[in-house]
Every structure is written in structure tokens, then in C-alpha cells.
Structure 1
């Protein structure tokens, strides 16, 4: 599994359901994100930014 290092904390600490709720994406998309089947670049800009911000807050 090739996880983007920019979002590794969120993937390690949150469940797919929590990610889907936090980012307002489908559970399938959250699961695909964790599995590496959905890349950060494939998300819309606002969702990508929110994901990175949340990941940074989890690392603080």
C-alpha cells in the first residue's frame, strides 16, 4: 500500500467512517483512500486541503 506521506497520520489514526464524516466524502471513497486506490490528487481541491489540514492537526 502506497500511502501519500502528507496524509499518513489521518489514515493511521482514523477509521474510514471517521474520515468520510470529517471530509464529507463517501465511505467507499474513504476506504479507497486508505487502501491507496484513491489518490489525494483525485479529490477536489477543498477536500484535499481539508484532509491535509486535519492530518496536520492530528500530528500536533
Structure 2
């Protein structure tokens, strides 16, 4: 349940960001960039970890 509550908090934060920024296009671009960047960072982290464990 911890993951669900953190996701809910994350979505609430995104909603407030969208509400605060009056230009919808900019906020949607920001959200899209953030959603694309987050998995990329996570997968890069995983790949780095796998590379480290393979070398040993």
C-alpha cells in the first residue's frame, strides 16, 4: 500500500503543478517529459547495477 499512497501523492503534486501553471500545453509537456525521464533514469540505474554485478 505504500507504493499506492506515494503514487497518489505524486499525482496530487502533478495536479497542483498543472493548476498553478496557466498554460496547459507547457504543463502537459512538463508532465510528459517527467514521466518519460523517470523510467529512463530508473532503467539506467538498473543497467548500471547489472553491469557492475556482471563484472564481478
Interval of TM-score (by shorter of Structure 1 and Structure 2): 0.3 to 0.5
TM-score (norm 2): 0.38
- Larger helix share, 1 or 2: 2
* Largest Rg, 1 or 2: 2
Q: When the two structures are superposed, what TM-score results if normalisation uses the length of structure 1?
A: 0.36
